[in-house]
Structure 1
């Protein structure tokens, strides 16, 4: 069956969106949308997991932290001589595996650099962890 797409009203103008130059503002917007976006991607791509009785969901993402790690320059050499901006955040994931609930907290370090045309990703380093029941979950942005 063909999918019908409604025409835009003739008097509507396309809305242009530009990413904020302010890194805290940009990451707040990204992390706010991360769980919903991730869950849509998971639903579209996780056929094998779902067939095995595993369902994954992203519950929440923490607020960003901007305290930089002191890292040696081993691979990345920016043309401006500036170190990339560092953003740390956590994500709480919930898996349902054959009726059992497993919660996993993942840790992410995002390295970005600002160019004339906007922010560019240098690297994303992620690490899986277990949720400690004595520790609070990441705070939701909503």
Structure 2
């Protein structure tokens, strides 16, 4: 059995390396401020950076046996939604992510591509819709799925009206 003092030393070492922080800044043990970027490019990069941990927690809560290996950098080039209509500034913004994951104990990986629609509202950024597509099949609505839950949770925690940058 490991003595508590050894566990405490390991935790202190992890805190000093920044690998274990529980939402606290390792240098001063203060809550890390959650700032919501106002620009889509910065916002989507921040989501991509944190998405593995948010998606892993969502999978665990839902009982899914998947491990997130990595999340791609976001793609922001929107796809045309209608032939006869040009985009409006009030339209939800399109963000594309790819997630590489595997089942625990397995070597095989799977890659999932996601198409997110994010809206800038008076209350902050919100996820409007989420889709995934496998091979040549039509896009599947996953707005109630794990990816939508993880992104919505991130947006709620970081992007309320009071913490906009």
Q: Per the shorter chain, which TM-score range?
A: 0.5 to 0.7
1:63 partnered with 2:69:
no
Seen in structure 2, the aligned counterparts of structure 1 residues 45 and 121 have a Cα distance that, compared at 3 Å, is closer
Q: Work out the number of aligned pairs and report it.
A: 103
Question: Secondary structure of the residue that 2:133 maps to in structure 1?
Answer: strand
What is the Cα deviation at residue 16 of structure 1? 5.1
1:84 partnered with 2:84:
no
In 2, the alpha carbon distance for the partners of 1:22 and 1:64 equals 13
In 2, the alpha carbon distance for the partners of 1:121 and 1:108 equals 13
What is the Cα deviation at residue 44 of structure 1? 3.4
Seen in structure 2, the aligned counterparts of structure 1 residues 104 and 15 have a Cα distance that, compared at 3 Å, is closer
In 1, the alpha carbon distance for the partners of 2:31 and 2:52 equals 26
What is the Cα deviation at residue 36 of structure 1? 1.6
In 2, the alpha carbon distance for the partners of 1:120 and 1:40 equals 20
1:23 partnered with 2:40:
yes
Where structure 1 has 5 or more consecutive residues not aligned to the other structure, the ranges are 1-11, 50-54, 74-79, 130-142
TM-score normalised to the size of structure 2?
0.53
In 1, the alpha carbon distance for the partners of 2:131 and 2:93 equals 13
- 2:54 is aligned to 37
1:122 partnered with 2:128:
yes
- 2:101 is aligned to 93
RMSD of the alignment, in Å?
2.7
Seen in structure 2, the aligned counterparts of structure 1 residues 122 and 45 have a Cα distance that, compared at 3 Å, is closer
More strand by share: 1
Report runs of 4+ in structure 1 exceeding 2 Å deviation: 12-18, 40-45, 80-83, 99-102
What is the Cα deviation at residue 30 of structure 1? 0.9
What is the Cα deviation at residue 89 of structure 1? 1.1
In 1, the alpha carbon distance for the partners of 2:54 and 2:95 equals 19
Which deviates more from structure 2 when the two are superposed, residues 30-39 or residues 14-23?
Answer: 14-23
